[in-house]
Amino acid sequence: MKYIIYTDGACSGNPGPGGWGAIIIDEKKNQINLSGKKKLTTNNRMELTAPIMALKKIKKNSEVIIYTDSIYLKNGITIWIKNWKNNGWKSANKKPVKNKDLWIALNNLTEKKSIVWKWVKAHAGNRLNELADKLATEAIIN
């Protein structure tokens, strides 16, 4: 099965109340909107939570394109995570990797799936990115 996913995270204060949003579209054009919140979190944790929650809904051996407006998320999962794992979950400056629990969860969910990560500019008129942002921000207050 093939999927397209758009994700976003938001926080009111950083740390503060946070929300995440994700849109899953399958190859038949069925769309599922997901969102959730945490009372006290950070924006980066919400950016990571959105694809985790979306990927939990997708079967193994799927082909997925994930769009995110978070460079932190995209670079973390496609570039930095290799070094973090090789360095015992230490960053380049030898400090513990922030949000390690979520990086591990996300990494585990990417196994047995073919995933392409794409960055999209935030607040630039991309309809589905704007919807993911709306889901995330509305989750904070609902």
The reply to whether 123 belongs to the active site is yes
From 8, 18, 21, 76, active-site residue: 8
From 19, 21, 76, 133, active-site residue: 133
The reply to whether 133 belongs to the active site is yes
From 9, 18, 21, 76, active-site residue: 9
Provide CB contacts within 8 A for 54, sequence distance 6+: 5, 7, 22, 24, 34, 66
The reply to whether 47 belongs to the active site is yes
From 18, 19, 21, 47, active-site residue: 47
From 88, 111, 123, 125, active-site residue: 123
The reply to whether 26 belongs to the active site is no
From 18, 19, 21, 69, active-site residue: 69
The set of catalytic residues is 8-9, 47, 69, 123, 133
